[in-house]
Amino acid sequence: MAPATPARTADHVPGPAPGRVLILGAGLAGMRAALAARQAAPGLDVLLVCPRLSPSGSSFANRNNALGVQAPLPDEAAAFVDEALRLAAPGFADPVLVRALAADAPLRVEELLDGPGGLALSFRRDAKKRLLRFTGCFSPHPRALVFDGLGQAHAAFVERLRALGVRFLAGREALEIAVADGRARGALLVSRRDGRVLKVAASAVIVATGGPAPLFGRRICGPGPGGGLSYGLLAQAGASLVNTRLLQFFWCRAGDRAFVNPGSLPWETLAPELAHMAQERLAHCPASYSLPDATLDRWLCAKRSADGLLRLPGQPALALYAHAGNGGARIDAQGRTDVPGLYACGECAGGMHGAQRLGGGMVLSALVFGARAGEAAAREAAALKMGGGPDHAPLPVPPCSGLDLPLEPGFLPALRAGMDRHAQPYSAQFGAAREAFAAWLRGAAERAASARQRLLARSALLVLEGEKKGTPGCVRLAGSV
């Protein structure tokens, strides 16, 4: 056991707790959830928490300054669903959730355009102002749209949310979801500036805190403070998770992280017997887990040096870089986890993607399940408010919680180096070094004094080893869209 460390005096957030929807994370999914919550129940207090209120993360600050979104039309819905499900193996994709993506796509995309009430984002168009449609990774069908100017998109969302009365709490990060009497009741937040703890009670909590790529040293997720805590945060609250080992990885130049598609390499020279797969590999950026052209990625991985770099004759040094996760909390069609009062959306929610996901599928998922989670959470909170609400007594701060303690020196670099070595696709699944790394993570998850350190270690274990056996995640959920 770690020695007891007294927590600093915790404050309470101002404003009413009964009837409050608390949203953790201000990326695209969190913003969309806040918008839906406020629209569904205008009288509720909707509080959006984020480490900083400026464009960050893959939603609003990626290197391309653009986002692609799958946008199947109604007559394309069935083909979209079939294609997404065919890509799922060896992961899990719930047909109910995939059908929800297809069903809601037209309306969710329309809300981003320049029609009445739309956000007027800068979608790419042809000379006649018609929306351009692109193929996405893993698909030959041009169903995806692209918009540019992520800073402007972020500003448009913030302006709309403020006009609706959504409150922002910047400079804070959740390190614990408060669960009492079997339901989520709020969260314990920590100031990134001075470590002060803030207790926020709520009738419903939506987690939209991003994915696991920040756990890796080699990563090309969007920039931003912190990150990588989501899996541990949700698991700590009791939520079941799925597909936690399944991340997207891109081959990039080790010097400047510029993307290199393996299909473009000189296979006729490198391995002539594999050259027939190059064209298929060119059709998607991330490495796959189950498609035939994964043979190319396995061949390349086998040629890497101990430092993880691939050095081929006449080519710059390459490495695999973590981009995004395809797993997260198992949710239903309204974004509910199996913990009452707790919702998830965006890259920390799972079940709508399998091992491979269509290019632009995550943006669509953030929009669709952000909207669904926000609306469902608001209606649940409003019902609790009308019925008198749950008991919003002050949330406890355990005396040895370590919520305000920093990471131990050297912990994060060691964790990221270990994840690069042992948690990338096609890495050796067994071996003394990997088992030693897993044991080190387990020790940190159980005994580290810092709450952040425990969450990071737990998140890393879920990526390294997957969700625990017996977790009821890989089953079809009952119900309809």
pLDDT digits (tens, 9 = 90+) for 376-390: 999 999 998 755 554
Which residue from 386, 381, 351 is spatially nearest to 369, judged by alpha carbons?
351
pLDDT band, very low/low/confident/very high, at 192 (cuts 50, 70, 90): confident
Contact present, 453 and 228 (Cβ < 8 Å):
no
Q: Using the predicted structure, report yes or no on whether residue 98 has a pLDDT greater than 70.
A: yes
* Cβ-Cβ contacts under 8 Å for 148 (sequence gap 6 or more): 65, 66, 122, 124
- The share of the chain scoring above pLDDT 70, in percent, equals 89
Q: 23 is written with which tokens?
A: 């949203």
Angle between helices 411-422 and 451-465 (to 10 degrees): 0
Tokens 């929306």 correspond to what residue? 131
354: left (phi over 0), alpha (psi -120 to 50) or beta: beta
- Token duo for residue 300: 């390349």
**Residue 19 above 80 pLDDT?**
yes
Phi, psi at residue 27, to the nearest 5°?
A: -80, -165
Distances (CA, A) of 93 to 86, 88, 357, 366, 370: 9, 6, 10, 16, 18
Alpha carbon distance 377, 284 (integer Å): 36
Rounded distance between C-alpha atoms, residue 110 and residue 107, angstroms: 5
- Which of 47-61, 133-147, 299-313, 378-392 is predicted with the least confidence, judged by mean pLDDT? 378-392
Cα gap 310→316, rounded to integer Å: 8
Nearest partner of 344 among 183, 467, 205, judged by Cα: 205
Q: Which of 357, 395, 63 is CA-nearest to residue 202?
A: 395
> 48: pLDDT confidence band, cut at 50, 70 and 90?
very high
The pLDDT value given to residue 8: 44
Residue 217: pLDDT band by 50, 70, 90 thresholds?
very high
First to last CA, the chain: 46
Q: Are 241 and 328 in contact (CB under 8 A)?
A: yes
pLDDT score of 224? 72
Question: Which residue shows structure tokens 């510029």?
Answer: 258
Closest CA relative to residue 30, chosen from 12, 47, 14: 47
Take residue 18 and report the two structure tokens written for it: 């009964």
Please give the average per-residue pLDDT across 126-145, as a whole number.
97
For residue 435, with 0-12 CB atoms within 10 Å meaning exposed, 13-18 middle and 19 or more buried, which class applies?
exposed
The pair phi, psi for residue 214, each rounded to 5°, is -65, -10
> Do residues 457 and 449 touch, judged by C-beta distance below 8 A?
no
Helix (H, G, I), strand (E, B) or coil at 368: helix
From edge to edge, which strands make up the β-sheet containing 241-242? 241-242, 328-330, 349-350
> Phi and psi at residue 388, in whole multiples of 5°?
100, -15
The ranges assigned to domains in the chain are 11-246+324-386, 261-315, 411-465
Residue 42 has pLDDT above 70, yes or no: yes
Distances in whole angstroms, Cα of residue 388 to Cα of each of 299, 361, 385, 394, 395: 62, 40, 5, 17, 18
**Homologous superfamily of 11-246+324-386 in CATH?**
FAD/NAD(P)-binding domain (3.50.50.60)
Q: pLDDT band at residue 317, thresholds of 50, 70 and 90?
A: very high
